[in-house]
Copies of this chain bind each other. A is one copy, B any other.
Amino acid sequence: MNHFKIYQKYMSETEISTIGEFGLIDRLTKDIELKNSSSLRGVGDDCAVMRYPDNDVLVSTDLLVEGVHFDLTYVPLKHLGYKSAVVNFSDIYAMNGTPRQIVVSLGISKRFTVEHIEELYSGLRLACEVYGVDLVGGDTTSSHSGLVISITCIGDASADKIVYRNGAKDTDLICVSGDLGAAYMGLQVLEREKIASAGQRDFTPDFAGKEYLVERQLKPEARKDIIAELDKAGIVPTSMMDVSDGLSSELLHICRQSKVGCRVYEDRIPIDYQTAVMAEELNMNLVTAAMNGGEDYELLFTVPLHYHDKVSQLPGVKVIGHITKESLGCAMITRDGGEMTIVAQGWNHMKPEESES
């Protein structure tokens, strides 16, 4: 992460057209070994084959489009591969499940070489290694405009452990893992340095004191550890989601689907020091950033009130509020004791100001 690198073709690199689609797939997948007993057959046939005799099967999918979800000016391809996989694992953990397989489709424009795609794949494969997931298939094709990444993740969970969004009950405690807003601030740092780099071929950005923010944006992790902690503590949440669009948006999803309201406390929202410093530098409201920033990939969940002591002791988990009756609506209790209605302002890739090229 020390350089901004303009992705370009070097003489020594291999044009994808010289080895073709099948050659590329062979090269990317040739030494993949399947780790999970549920993975029976991986890359190389019309379908991947899996076996899930005991557990329920979870499936989640994400589509990432260059220029909308990522900017290759400052996102290294290896990090992009890692993140693309991890955000899908996060959806499986958010159901209290375990990710087991992914299939990866790539749309690749002509400016990418075989080496570029190998770099992307090295990130995908690292994520699979770290989280114990098998890459079992995919599709590779050309694109007329940049890079498109579509990942579907398959996981499993025993039927009595799956946690949906709609199980939150009045008086349940609302908990969140880690801290919020840092990934969003990391994006602001990267965008600022992009402007400073002004298209220079080789530019060393200034991330001093912002390393954590940049890392949260470029290399997020899924909270496998929290799922393990909950399991160890014998806690099955009543509802759960991962925080991808921002806490406000996710709280509203849980409340709407559970037909409940909520109160969260401003002074309980977990925020890292670097996030606070950056918000001040940018003259942004810190809590707004933490509530609406998105891409945190932390876990938001609810547990029955009687778990208060147990859940409070979990490392990296904070109780931020409680569920109420639906009629009370969704609100944040501010530091001065006031109530502010929670409105979703999360990342919305459909927002009108986006322009089409």
- List residues of A whose CB falls within 8 A of some B CB: 15-17, 20-21, 24, 40-41, 44-54, 56-63, 65-69, 91-92, 94-95, 97, 101, 103, 105-111, 136-146, 148, 150, 152, 154-155, 159, 162, 164-166, 240-242, 257, 348-352, 354-357
Contact = CB atoms under 8 A, between A and B. Distances in A.
A352 to B, nearest CB: 4
Given A105-B63, A145-B145, A52 B49 contact: no
Contacts of A44: 165, 257
A46 B165 contact: yes
A190 B56 CA distance: 45
Contacts of A40: 56
Contacts of A142: 65, 68, 349-350, 354
A198 to B, nearest CB: 22
A65 B109 CA distance: 11
B15 A148 contact: no
Number of copies: 2
Given A53-B54, A68-B141, A47 B95 contact: yes
A91 B47 contact: yes
Given A15-B352, A17-B352, A21-B348, A51 B56 contact: yes
Given A45-B95, A61-B152, A148-B148, 19 more contacts: A17-B350, A20-B348, A21-B350, A24-B350, A40-B56, A44-B165, A45-B166, A46-B92, A46-B95, A46-B165, A60-B137, A61-B139, A62-B139, A108-B350, A110-B354, A142-B350, A144-B146, A144-B357, A148-B150
Nearest to A142: B349
